[in-house]
Amino acid sequence: MMPAMKLAKIIHNPSAGKEEHTCEQLVSAVRAQGYDCEYSSTKERGWKKIRKNTDFIIVAGGDGTVRKVVVKLLDKLPINEQLPIVLIPLGTANNISKSLGISGKIDQIIAQLNKEELKPYDVGRVSGLSEKALFLESFGFGVFPMLMKEMKKHPVENSVSPEKKMHTALALLHDIIMNFSAYNFEVTVDGRKHNGPCLLAEIMNINSIGPNLNFSPDADPGDGIFELVLIPEQFRNALAAYVSGKIAGIDTDFRPIIMKGEKISILTDCPHLHVDDELVKVRNAMKITVKPDKGYMEFLAGG
10-residue mean pLDDT profile of the chain (303 residues): values are 70 80 88 91 92 91 93 78 88 91 85 79 93 93 96 81 89 97 97 96 96 94 96 98 95 93 96 95 86 90 56
Backbone angles phi, psi at 230, to 5 degrees: -120, 135
Residue 10 burial class via C-beta count within 10 angstroms: exposed 0-12, middle 13-18, buried 19 and up? buried
**Where are the chain's structural domains?**
7-116, 124-295
- For the domain spanning 7-116, the CATH number is 3.40.50.10330
Task: Render 95-133 in DSSP notation, one character per residue.
Answer: HHHHHHT--S-HHHHHHGGGG--EEEEEEEEEESSSS-E
pLDDT of residue 1: 33
Cα 216 from Cα 254, distance rounded (Å): 10
Question: Whole-model pTM?
Answer: 0.90
Q: Please give the CATH topology (third level) of the domain spanning 124-295.
A: Tumour Suppressor Smad4 (2.60.200)
pLDDT of residue 140: 96
